Amino acid sequence: MKKESEETEMSETKNKVKFGLCNIHIAKIIEENGEITYGKPFKVPGARNLTTDPEGESTPFYADNIKYYTAVSNQGYTGDLEVAMTPEEFLTEILGQLKDSNGALIESADDVQARFALMGEIDGDVKKRRFVYYDCTATRPSNEASTIEESKDPKTDTIALTMSPRSTDKLIKAVIEPSETNKNIYDTFFKKVYEKNATVTQEGV
């Protein structure tokens, strides 16, 4: 009976479905002497949708007249982030645009884009999950504008993303759900990019 109750309790604490998207944060990659660190994460408000598609190849090996083994490579993901409006900090810190003395944002063919970590949160029926993609690049956002008709239909920006393995350790992504043992790490997840086996001290809390 005890084992059965433990299994029931465990199943009740696991998500069966996921939905929603919020708390999108960006942290700029700083690379010096082959080492990668991150700037302070900033929030991207108005997240609408995040889609990701796996990248990689399957290479079959044949022996004994059958497919004996299949090697599968993991090259990360590609996807799209849809937001209500691309924040200025993303345009300047990540896409390399310049804000001049009059407050105008200047886009140039010479803009140098930065790599970054992408962080966010997805709801579940039981627990929320927080995630980070460690090494991302982005294209300039696609956007749309149209005249106002009888009803105002807000337009969104879509940013194409590439999430690659991090060059220093091949890490691609981390996902964490709250528990009794990781509460402090989970609660401070968006203050600093999470690293594998991080402690509260390492998180700088």
Q: What are the tens digits of pLDDT across the range 150-195?
A: 667 788 999 999 999 999 999 999 999 999 899 999 999 999 999 9
CA-nearest of 38, 15, 204, 34 to 119 is 38
pTM value is: 0.82
Q: CB of 123 within 8 A of CB of 47?
A: no
Distance separating alpha carbons of residues 99 and 90, to the nearest angstrom: 12
pLDDT tens for each residue of 113-140: 999 999 999 987 668 999 999 999 999 9
DSSP letter, residue 108: -
Residue 88: half-sphere exposure toward Cβ, Cα within 13 Å: 7
Say how many C-beta atoms besides its own lie within 10 A of residue 119's C-beta. 25
Encoding tokens for residue 23? 């708390």
